[in-house]
Amino acid sequence: MANIHTPIPNLKLNDGHSMPMLGYGTGTAWYKSGNESKVDQACIEAAKISMNMGYHHQDAAEVYKTETELGQAIKQAGISREKLFLTTKVITNISDIPSALKTSLKKLGVDYVDLYLIHAPFFSDKKEDHQEKWRQMEELKAQGLTKSIGVSNYLPQHLDWIFETCKVPPAVNQIEFHPYLQHPDLISYHKKKGIATCAYGPLTAVTKGAGGPADEVLEKLAKKYAVSPGEISLRWCIDQDIVPITTSSKEQRMSDYLRAMTFKLNPAEIKQLNEAGSKKHLRGFWTHKYDENDKR
C-alpha cells in the first residue's frame, strides 16, 4: 500500500477556524437502519484506520446512528483531540437542538465538535423557524460546545432567511456535489457570502453515474496524473476550494484517495470536467424532496 506523506491541506473558514480538505464519512454505506445500540465493529475499524491514515476530518450525524462507533474509533485511534476535526449534524431531534448536541457529544466521547450542522432545511417552510433554530446554533457555539456552525442541503432562500437575523453567519453548507450536480448558482452564492462548501457524494460520477459523459475526461486525467478517476473527482472538488467528504470500507481505497493530495488540476482541466459533467443531471440523495430535473 502506498505510504503517502503529502498532508491534506486546510481550508480557512469565515470564523477563523480551519477544516481539512478531505473528510471521511460514517454515513451512507455505514448508515444503521436498525437498532442503534447494536454496535457495528466494521464501522469502528474503518473509521479508526482512516484516522490513523491521516483522515482527521470525520463526518458524522445523529441520524446515521454511528456516533457511538465513531466515538469508539476515536478512542482506539489514540489521536489527540486537537488534531481531529469532528462534524456532526442534527435532524431527528431538531425540536431540541441543545440536547441533541449534548447526546451526540456523549456518544462521540468528546467535549466539543469542530462543526455542528443543521442536516437539512426540510423541517419547516417558515423563515421564523429557521431563524429561531439558527439562534440556538449560535448559543451552542458561544458555549464552546462546537467551534463552528453551519448547515447542510440549504438553498439560497434558506440561507437568506438566516442572514436576515444571524449574529454568526453559517461557516459551511454541506451539499451533494459532483460533476453531475454542480449547482453553480448555489456555489456562487456561497462564495459571495463567505460560506465554505463541503461536497458529499463526490465520487458519484464514477460510482452511480458511471457510463456518463464525464467518463472520458475523468479517464484522460486519471491517465495523465497516474491516479484513478475517483481521485480526479476528489481533486476536482479541492481545486475549486470545495471540501469532499468520501467514505470507504476498504483500506486500499482510503490509501489511494490520499494520492489526490499529490497533484493539481489546471483551470482548463477543471473546465473540461465541468462542461462534460453538465451534460448529465444526477441527484443521489434527498430525491424525494426535488423534482427529477431540479438542479438547484
Ligand X SMILES: NC(=O)c1ccc[n+]([C@@H]2O[C@H](COP(=O)([O-])OP(=O)(O)OC[C@H]3O[C@@H](n4cnc5c(N)ncnc54)[C@H](OP(=O)(O)O)[C@@H]3O)[C@@H](O)[C@H]2O)c1
**Contact present, 196 and 190 (Cβ < 8 Å):** yes
Q: Is 64 a catalytic residue?
A: yes
Smallest distance, ligand X to C-beta of residue 249, A? 3
Of positions 245, 260, 265, 276, contacts ligand X by CB under 6 A? 245
- Which DSSP string do the residues of the chain spell out, in sequence order? -----PPPPEEE-TTS-EEES-EEESSGGG---S-TTS--HHHHHHHHHHHHHT--EEE--GGGT-HHHHHHHHHHHT--GGG-EEEEEESTTGGGHHHHHHHHHHHHT-S-EEEEEE--STT-S-HHHHHHHHHHHHHHHHTTSEEEEEEES--HHHHHHHHHH-SS--SEEEEE-BTTB--HHHHHHHHHHT-EEEEESTTGGGTTTTTSTTHHHHHHHHHHHTS-HHHHHHHHHHTTTEEEEE--S-HHHHHHHGGGGS----HHHHHHHHHHHTT-----SSGGGS-TT---
**Contact present, 115 and 150 (Cβ < 8 Å):** yes
97 lies in the binding site for ligand X (CB under 6 A): no
202 lies in the binding site for ligand X (CB under 6 A): yes
Of positions 250, 271, 289, 296, contacts ligand X by CB under 6 A? 250
Residue nearest to ligand X (CB): 25
Of positions 146, 148, 204, 272, contacts ligand X by CB under 6 A? 204
Query: Per CB under 6 A, which of residues 267..286 are in contact with ligand X?
Result: 285
Smallest distance, ligand X to C-beta of residue 282, A? 11
Catalytic residue among 24, 55, 64, 116: 64
Span near ligand X by CB under 6 A; candidates 7-15, 26-34, 47-55, 258-266: 26-34
136 lies in the binding site for ligand X (CB under 6 A): no
In terms of C-beta density within 10 A (0-12 exposed, 13-18 middle, 19 or more buried), how is residue 3 classed?
A: exposed
Smallest distance, ligand X to C-beta of residue 62, A? 12
25 lies in the binding site for ligand X (CB under 6 A): yes
Smallest distance, ligand X to C-beta of residue 198, A? 8
Q: In sequence order, which residues have a C-beta less than 8 Å from that of residue 289 and are 6 or more positions away?
A: 122
182 lies in the binding site for ligand X (CB under 6 A): no
Of positions 247, 260, 269, 276, contacts ligand X by CB under 6 A? 247
130 marked as part of a ligand binding site? no
Of positions 200, 212, 259, 276, contacts ligand X by CB under 6 A? 200
For residues 201 and 277, which CB has a smaller minimum distance to ligand X in the complex? 201
For residues 98 and 284, which CB has a smaller minimum distance to ligand X in the complex? 284
Binding positions for substrate:
119
Residues serving a catalytic function are 64
Binding positions:
119
What is the contact surface with ligand X in residues (CB under 6 A)? 25-29, 59, 119, 152-153, 174, 200-204, 206-207, 230, 245-250, 253, 285
